[in-house]
Each structure stands twice: as structure tokens, then as C-alpha cells.
Structure 1
């Protein structure tokens, strides 16, 4: 029989990051963004808005945004192009010089606290302007980000500039009219895809008073309308808009220490559900994966005194957490979370000069974490710092490791939003 007693093993708690990168499918046609002409906007503000616009253009599906520095070689060969401020001829020459199929440019202006942006899209092959859109906005930085998302979609993928109207009625066979046109009968098989803006909704069924209401549809959001029909009356509730990204699937990898100056790799799969409260800032996360630990330490044996022990463990965690996104409308969104976990642990101890011993344990613990999300493609890249803890319950008299499991660690990953 062995009694294991921990003898302090000095050393800092180490942890490192595993890098990961989400790859996106290469688009068919390259696009050049040429600098904006400004009217009454200072250089710092225009540079910040232009940076946000470039980022949102690069996120439009099917668009490969060319690097800005590619135009330097073309300008060295044709210096007059440096003075191009939106004329079709010089834009076409710039586009051909860098191998772009299309070129985007425009004019940014301001009047008081309100900004206006006029963008034009040129086809390099045809040498013609193919589309022109305008946008006005004012307010905090999050408003600027949303305005750039909208104008990029309207200019490059106008068919994708839509919002959803989700309609539920207490009765079936109710005729649904949008702006005077019959679009279907309840129950509708899926939400209605409508252009952003105000629409007139009308519901009609024989024997009931018509339900009529204006509904504001927002780009890339879902507005839910619940209508109750009873007797000859009718009532309806229009919920606040919510993000379309209700569910998420993610993969994270990194390292976690075990509070004994050792670290081990951890890989986690997660499934999330955005709760329909507080503007979609709250989400439930269910996580599971694998976590491995290795440890060498000095322990006490009643028969041999202090001896060296090599230990290893494989942990299967099942973790349920509540996540709070602090700034969900920003491109870099911080978040925090807290939750509980169940850990199934397989341990193996190899004492010097003694037979190897194996144990299994199941324990409950808790965890807390904070991180940062960066929108990329159909989801978000994330960087997360996590603390998790549980107490192992094996009796030392039976030869087990009675101690703590978990500690501080870091994870990186990608979360697909659906």
C-alpha cells in the first residue's frame, strides 16, 4: 500500500497558444478598392471609415479584395494615375494594372454629425460603371460598422441585401399580404426574405378582423411577429429584431495547466445557442473534447521513502456554460462566461521501482473564462483564457492521487455562426 504525499515542485505555470486559421474559399473575381475622395472629413476620421469599409467589402461572399500596395507598381509606371479621383478611364487603367475585374471607389462627406458615402462599382473589362449606391449614418462606431456592412452588400451583392420576417399565427390558413401582395398562407414554410425597410403586413381570414401593421425589416436580422386570433378579435406582437446567427458550432485547441506547474493539450468541440433575450448577448454553450496531462514529481512511499513518480491522465470533460457578449456589434467583441463541468479522468502512475497503477475517477467542477471574438467569414475567430477546477476524489490510502484537477490555460479556435 502506498501513501502519496505531494512535495512542492518549483516552477511557474506554463501555457502557450496553438495557432489556427480558418480558410475561406477563393472567390472568382478580384476587386480593387481605390481610395475615397473626401469632402469636409478630416484625414484621421476618413482613414478609420475607409479601413472599416475595406474590411466589410472583404467579407462579402465571392469577393477577393486585392492588397492596396499592388497599385504602387502601376503608379510608378504611370505616375498620372496617382491623381485619379474617380474618373472611369484612370480607374480602368488601375484595375487592369493589378489584374482586377472590378474597381470600387467613392466620395465620403459630412454635415455636422451625419456622414454620407457614395460608392461606385466599375467593370474593368467593359470600362463602365455598373452600380452606384449611397448611405447616410451618424452616431457611435457600431453604427459606422453596420452602415459599411449594408453599403458593401448593396453594392457588390444586392441580392443578399435582405432581412427576415418570421410570422407565427394561432390559426392556420391565414392569408399573408406584404405591401398589398399575397405571399402565402400560414403556416409559412420559412421566414419571408424581404428588402430592408418598412413593409405593410396584412393577415386575412374569413370570420376574423384583419390584422394590419407596419413592420421594419433590418438587413441580416430576423423580425418575429406573433399573431393571436380568437373569436372575432385579433392581436399581434412584433418582437425586437434579433441576429440571424442563432446557433453556433466551434472547435478550440490550446493548453491547460493542472496547478502543479505542468501543462497539457486540450481540444474542445462546442455547440451554442443564442438566447432570445437582452439583444442576443447571452448564449448557452455545451462543450466536450479531450484533455491530456503529464507530470513528474516527488512523492512519499511508506516502503521506500521519497521516490520519483511519473504520472499521466486523460480527461473527458462535459462542460455547460453561460456566455455573455459585451459588445456584439463590434468587429472585436469581448466576452465572459461561467459554468459547471463533469470530468471523467483516467490516471496512470508509474512510481520508480514499483508496478504501474491505473485509476478512474468522475468529478464535478466549475469554470470561468473570458475571450475576444473577431468576425471572419461565416463565423468568428476567438482567443480565450480559461480557468477550470475540480477536486479529485480518489482515496490516497487506495493508492490514488488526491488533489486538484485544472488550472489556468489558453485556447484559440473558430466558431461557425448559423
Structure 2
């Protein structure tokens, strides 16, 4: 009887248990660089993949699996897709993905642009597109492309928050004209879009405070206000704490393979120098033999024993000429190799794979 009751209870619990949250299958394909060196583009793709794997509700397909599927003979035509929505939809369908992300990252001097789009593989339509530009240091690309990814895949998560510290109790706080509570606020004011927001704090008997406060993506803006003098006394930005605490996974990209062209250029340059020195030595010996014969001729002391000296001098002269020819050829070859090396970007292509790091990650550049 007890056993029957337990089985019935467990069965009922299983039936009433909430279904597992369905995840959207996401694939990332061909982040094409324009004017950006290949290795930097690969690092940004590592970052993009690791960040995409953190977005709740999405299951990112590993890069190796994507490449394996598209390398099949029946998918050969798909690899030539130029970015049209129709062929991107077919790629996403072949990958078994619900959504497909692709795009271009371009660079011109210190100006950067990225054009990312999200394709709905079920409907065959471009669901969302982000086209942004920025100027400045290259490391600014990292937060910009992270924010662009969230705008693309989960725009509702593109938010920040504000912590308001006022040493006066029961002061009314408003953000963008909306009341958010009275001081001290128990929790940060969250869910705010990145950008400027109007902060107002007022209490009877004090001068009202009003100023703009900047909110940053996935950061908390900490604001300290002295309501007596109605001035902002502190402003700082902190990364939002996530629950669970982020586990940082360090991604160390493999070192680039040796530059064979540069190694060959150095090798031929050393060979040219060595052969040139050897040719110089033979030339010196040949000249010494010639001087000896000339001295004997001036003093009328020529004798048959000088025949051996003359023969050696001729041999040294021949070796010197051959050595100079080889040294010249090696030097010319080295020059050509250096020109080829300098004209290339010097950035080898490496295969890298994103390694999810829980709620946080670090990419070593």
C-alpha cells in the first residue's frame, strides 16, 4: 500500500514538474574581416563566441561542429554564400540552428565598423541588424562588439544600473521623472538602457538635486550626492555582479607558427655574408701570390719554384670569383625574400575555438 502511494506521488510530481526551458539553437558563421588583420579578427570571434555562450536562452553551436557540417560535400555550394539572407537561411537550416549570426568587422586607421545581423532560419528573414562605428584604440572594439551582440540576440539584456548613496534618509528619488523609492534605496535602480539618465533627489528643507548620470552596458554607476549642498560628490562605474559569481576562464591563443619566409631571408643573408668573407679570404691569398711573383720579376729572381705559387694564386683567384658570385646570388635572394615578407601582413591564420568560461572570461591578446 505504501509502495503504491509513493509511486503515485512521484508520478504526480513528475507530471506537475515544469518543463525544461527550451533553448534557441544559435550558430555563428564567418565573421569576415575587412582591413583588419586576421589574428585580431580571430580573437574578436573568440570573444563573440564566448559571450554568446553566456546569453541565457541560447545554445551556441561549437565552431568545430559548424565547420564539420559545412565541409560535407553536399554543403559545398553553401560555403560560397556572399551574405544574402536566402543562402544564410539555408546555411542555418543545414546547421540545424534556429538563429544564425554573421557579419563583417572593418578597420581603416583608427576607425572601426562592424555590421552584424541575425537571421531567423525558420522564417527566412533577417530578424535584426546592428551597424555601428567607433573611433579610437583597438581595445575599444571589445566592449563595443559585446554590446552589439546583446543588441542583436538579446536586446532586453542591454541594460545597466545605478546605485544612489545619499546621507539623508527619506529623500525621494526619481530617475527620468519616475519615482524609484526613498533613501536609503535597498537595491540598485536596474534595467536602465545605456546612456544618460536624469537623476532627481528631493526632500523638504533641502535644495533639490538634479543632474544627468551616465549608465553603461552591464555596469553599475555608483552616485554619491550631498543633498545639503545639492552637489554630486562621487561617481564611479563598477561591473555588475552576476549570480552565480563569474568563473573566469582564461583563453590563451596558440603562438603563431614560425615565419618561414623571414627565416629563409635570414638564412640566405647569413650565407651571403659567409660566402663573401670566404671569397675575400681567397682573393687576399690570390693577391698575395700575385705580389710575390711581381716582386720576384722586379728583382730578376724568377725561378721554377714560383710555378707552384702562380698555380695556387690562379686557384685562389678562381675560388674568389666563384665565392663572390655565390655571395651576390644569396644576397639578391635574401633581398627578394625580405621584400616578400615586408609586403605581407605577417599575421598567420590560426584556428581558434571559443571556450566558455561560465559567467566571465578573459582573452589574452
Q: Into which bin does the TM-score normalised by the smaller protein fall?
A: 0.5 to 0.7
Equivalent pair of 1:168/1:187 in contact (CA under 8 Å) = yes
Aligned twin of 1:178: 175
- Larger helix share, 1 or 2: 2
Structure 1 residues 250 and 170 mapped into 2: Cα distance closer, same or farther (>3 Å)?
closer
- 2:236 corresponds to 1:236: no
Please list the CA deviations of residues 360-391 of structure 1 after superposition, one character each: whole Å capped at 9, or x if unmatched. xxxxxxxxxxxxxx97123579xxxxxxxxxx
Is the radius of gyration larger for structure 1 or structure 2? 2
2:236 is paired with a residue whose SS is: coil
Aligned twin of 2:359: 378
Structure 1 residues 195 and 93 mapped into 2: Cα distance closer, same or farther (>3 Å)?
same
Please list every run of 5 or more consecutive structure 2 residues that lacks an aligned counterpart in the other structure: 1-19, 253-354
Aligned twin of 2:110: 113
- 2:84 corresponds to 1:103: no
TM-superposed CA distance for 1:35, in Å, is 0.7
Task: State the distance in 2 between where 1:202 and 1:190 align.
Answer: 17
User: What is the alpha-carbon root mean square deviation over aligned residues?
Assistant: 3.2
Task: State the distance in 1 between where 2:47 and 2:360 align.
Answer: 18
Task: Normalising by structure 2, report the TM-score.
Answer: 0.57
* 1:16-415 paired onto structure 2 within 5 Å: 28-69=23-64, 70-74=66-70, 76-137=73-134, 142-193=139-190, 194-230=192-228, 233-245=229-241, 376-378=357-359
Please list the CA deviations of residues 151-184 of structure 1 after superposition, one character each: whole Å capped at 9, or x if unmatched. 2222112121111100122223323232333343
Task: Normalising by structure 1, report the TM-score.
Answer: 0.50
TM-superposed CA distance for 1:246, in Å, is 8.7
Please list the CA deviations of residues 289-337 of structure 1 after superposition, one character each: whole Å capped at 9, or x if unmatched. xxxxxxxxxxxxxxxxxxxxxxxxxxxxxxxxxxxxxxx9x9559xxxx
Equivalent pair of 2:199/2:211 in contact (CA under 8 Å) = yes
Task: State the distance in 2 between where 1:125 and 1:45 align.
Answer: 33
* Structure with more relative contact order (C-alpha pairs < 8 Å, separation 6 or more): 2
TM-superposed CA distance for 1:247, in Å, is 9.5
Equivalent pair of 1:178/1:200 in contact (CA under 8 Å) = yes
Task: State the distance in 2 between where 1:136 and 1:249 align.
Answer: 32
Task: State the distance in 2 between where 1:167 and 1:90 align.
Answer: 50
Task: State the distance in 1 between where 2:40 and 2:231 align.
Answer: 47
Number of equivalenced pairs: 238
Equivalent pair of 1:71/1:98 in contact (CA under 8 Å) = no
Equivalent pair of 1:37/1:85 in contact (CA under 8 Å) = no
Task: State the distance in 2 between where 1:139 and 1:57 align.
Answer: 25
2:227 is paired with a residue whose SS is: strand
1:376 is paired with a residue whose SS is: coil
Task: State the distance in 2 between where 1:247 and 1:238 align.
Answer: 27
Structure 1 residues 59 and 137 mapped into 2: Cα distance closer, same or farther (>3 Å)?
farther
